[in-house]
Amino acid sequence: MAIRDIIVIGGGPAGFTAAIYLARAKLLPLMLNNRGCQLLLTNEVENYPGFKEGVTGVELVMAMEEQAKKFGAEILDKEVIKVDFEGEVKRIFVGEEEYLAKTVVIATGARPKILKVGEKEFIGRGVSTCAVCDAAFFRNKTVFVVGGGDSAVEEALFLAKFTDKVNLIHRRGELRASRIMQERLLAEKKIQVKWETEVVGVAGKEKLEKIKLKNVETGVEEVAADGLFLALGHEPTTGVFKGQLALSELGYLMVEMTKKGSNNHELWLSGYPTQTSVAGVFGAGDVVDFRYRQAITAAGMGAMAALDAEKFLTGRSSSY
């Protein structure tokens, strides 16, 4: 069985950018794309450079894929079910097939947690998991944010820049967010907090029109809603890597630049900032990044991982 120089696991901006860089370096990458990219669920993208009129998430992903193919990347829509990274040659299993590679870039991303009350049907049509991405589409609309942590508060505060009607829904009587974030939230007059309340249903035809709320004291009511933002956290797609690679407490891939004390000159010039706990295996995008979670930051990290992998393969010691 042939041993490839490199395999990219995953898709989205991180995976496709890595594939583009690696293909242009004549490394003939194989990309096992699990089609789990969140951009595919994003109706309109206006904050990705180069598209002044905006672009749909599907169009952006497809453009990245075509660009990767243009330079020679091989892309297979197959799901990785098992890996073995113990030896110098990395083994990747897809169904009954096995692929071998000297190096691997992991870009499997993260999935937003959802309520599972039917809102998945309206993602991109009134339901969103990213205020930074979609707030501009809800200017002067009535929007709701679900969650109680710092992320939920940040989403609500960001939305308040675009509309005067922001409702934060939290199932408990107090927030989990840090004290300073709570103070900022409660000081914002545009935001109303609905305590001890849950979203138990959604409704609409072509787009979201109403949500059903259940309050501990007042019971169930149906209210008009233009937008519903889910800020319940994310789950990194790292299940297949458990026991093979070091993961954080939240399940994200640990790479050299995310370790404490890793911000040093030597690492960034001579080391591999995106390398995981296993030599020759690199991580990029939302499977590593639990803070920014933007298409552009994922793409940037994909380029970093590709450059690290190329450097690892060629033994190049000079800095970039």
- DSSP alpha helices (H): ranges in the chain? 12-24, 57-70, 131-134, 150-159, 179-187, 265-270, 295-314
Residue corresponding to tokens 């992991």: 106
**Architecture of the CATH domain 114-230:** 3-Layer(bba) Sandwich (3.50)
Q: Model confidence over 25-67: pLDDT tens digits?
A: 999 999 997 666 677 766 678 888 999 888 888 899 999 999 9
pLDDT digits (tens, 9 = 90+) for 286-295: 999 988 888 9
Are residues 13 and 298 in contact, defined by beta-carbon separation less than 8 angstroms? Answer: yes
pLDDT per position as a tens digit, 240-278? 999 999 999 999 999 999 887 777 888 888 899 999 999
What pLDDT is attached to residue 219? Answer: 95
CB 267 within 8 A of CB 257: yes
Does residue 109 carry a pLDDT above 70? yes
* Cβ(9)–Cβ(253) below 8 Å: no
| Other CB atoms within 10 Å distance of the CB of residue 270 | 11
Active-site residue among 37, 77, 84, 133? 133
| pLDDT score of 208 more than 80 | yes
pTM of the predicted structure, to 2 decimals? 0.77
Q: Over the stretch 265-274, which tens digit does the pLDDT of each residue have?
A: 888 888 999 9
| Mean pLDDT (the chain, rounded) | 91
Sketch the domain layout of the chain as residue ranges.
Answer: 3-111+234-314, 114-230
Identify which of 250, 309, 266 has the alpha carbon closest to the alpha carbon of residue 107: 309
Please confirm, yes or no, whether 37 is among the known catalytic residues: no
What is the full DSSP assignment across 256-293?
GGGSTT---HHHHHHS-TTB-SSTTEEE-GGGT-SS--
Checking if the pLDDT of 97 tops 50, the result is yes
Q: Is the pLDDT of residue 163 over 80?
A: yes
Q: Is 130 part of the annotated catalytic residue set?
A: yes
Catalytic-role residue among 5, 37, 130, 308 = 130
Using the predicted structure, report yes or no on whether residue 320 has a pLDDT greater than 90: no
**Residue type at 139?**
R
270 Cβ partners below 8 Å, 6+ apart?
Answer: 317, 319
Assess whether pLDDT exceeds 90 at residue 297. yes
Catalytic residue among 37, 77, 84, 134: 134
Percentage of the residues of the chain whose pLDDT score is greater than 90: 73
What fold is seen in the domain 3-111+234-314? FAD/NAD(P)-binding domain (3.50.50)
Q: What is the pLDDT of residue 318?
A: 42
Tell me if 3-111+234-314 shares its fold with 114-230: yes
